[in-house]
């Protein structure tokens, strides 16, 4: 998978063996170099502030609490992206975690795609401290997500990505139905046109539910669709 940014090494702290291996494999597949540890002591030994840009941490660990580790890292002024991945999903724990310096707090029940999108957004922010310009929607082809202005990244299916790519690379102009259907790899004449309308409705609803923003797409009846905000596409 090609990434548009300098890849950051990830240090993973998780004491459940199966989950640790699964996460390790998934993150490696996303293109990160991953070092995995199963205890606070192991983490402290392995952590290299020069190399590790992101830490993915469990909280309940055999030799202590991950929260104390976060406090310790922040007290030392480590400029490290910290993602807490835990079974403790309660609001109080979440607030405590964010309060002491975690950047993101994900429940262990979260989708792996959500973890990938979170890490991609975090890596981008760490690599580029300049704030994204307002009203720009960014389509990330590698991590397969859509970044609304100011909103969290939204993980996309292959189909969503293809449709948005066609619309966003023609931003300001109409992408015709024929063009979009062709990009989807289908034959225009035999394609059931209602499928495209359904796909669009699903995409709008997904964006609305994920970030409360309206996907900036107009419908040109029987002709196609127009993406009418500023669009940036990253490989
Ligand atoms: Ca645990």
Q: For residue range 136-178, list pLDDT tens digits in order.
A: 899 998 889 999 987 788 999 999 999 999 999 998 888 999 9
Q: How far is the CA of 107 from the centre of ligand 1 (A)?
A: 12
Interval between CA 69 and ligand 1 midpoint (Å): 14
Residue 45 CA to ligand 1 centre (angstroms) = 19
Do strands 52-57 and 9-13 pair parallel, antiparallel, or not at all (unpaired)? parallel
How much is the pTM?
0.54
Using the 3D structure, point to which of 126, 159, 187 is the last residue of a domain.
126
Contact 43, 67 (CB under 8 A): no
CA of 20 to the centre of ligand 1 (A): 10
Mean pLDDT of 224-231: 90
Name the domain boundary from 92, 126, 160. Answer: 126
> Cα(19) to centroid of ligand 1, in Å?
10
C-beta separation of 166 from 179 below 8 A: yes
Residue 49 clears pLDDT 90, i.e. is over it: no
Q: At 172, is the secondary structure helix, strand, or coil? A: coil
Same-domain status, 110 and 175: no
Residues of the domain holding 219: 136-234
* Alpha-carbon span 72 to 87, nearest angstrom: 22
Number of domains in the chain: 2
For 137-148, the pLDDT digits (tens) are 999 988 899 999
Q: Look at residue 58 and tell me whether its pLDDT is greater than 80.
A: yes
Cα-to-centroid distance, 201 and ligand 1 (Å): 40
Q: Does residue 227 share a domain with residue 122?
A: no
CA of 61 to the centre of ligand 1 (A): 5
Q: What is the CATH number of the domain that holds 230?
A: 1.10.10.10
């Amino acid at each position: 998978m090609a990434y548009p940014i300098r890849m950051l090494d990830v240090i993973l702290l998780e004491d459940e063996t199966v989950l640790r291996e699964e996460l390790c494999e998934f993150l490696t597949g996303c293109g990160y170099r991953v070092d995995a540890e199963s205890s606070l002591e192991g983490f402290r030994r392995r952590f290299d502030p020069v190399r590790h840009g992101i830490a993915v941490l469990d909280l309940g660990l055999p030799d202590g609490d991950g929260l104390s580790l976060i406090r310790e890292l922040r007290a030392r002024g480590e400029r490290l992206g910290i993602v807490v991945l835990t079974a403790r999903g309660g609001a109080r724990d979440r607030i405590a975690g964010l309060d002491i310096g975690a950047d993101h707090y994900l429940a262990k029940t979260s989708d792996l795609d959500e973890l990938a999108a979170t890490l991609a957004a975090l890596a981008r922010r760490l690599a580029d401290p300049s704030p994204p310009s307002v009203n720009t929607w960014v389509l990330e082809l590698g991590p397969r997500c859509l970044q609304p202005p100011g909103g969290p990244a939204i993980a996309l299916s292959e189909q969503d990505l293809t449709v948005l790519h066609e619309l966003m690379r023609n931003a300001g102009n109409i992408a015709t139905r024929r063009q979009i259907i062709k990009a989807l790899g289908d034959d225009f004449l035999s394609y059931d046109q209602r499928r495209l309308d359904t796909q669009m409705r699903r995409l709008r609803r997904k964006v609305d539910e994920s970030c409360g923003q309206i996907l900036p797409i107009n419908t040109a009846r029987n002709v196609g669709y127009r993406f009418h905000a500023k669009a940036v596409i990253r490989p």
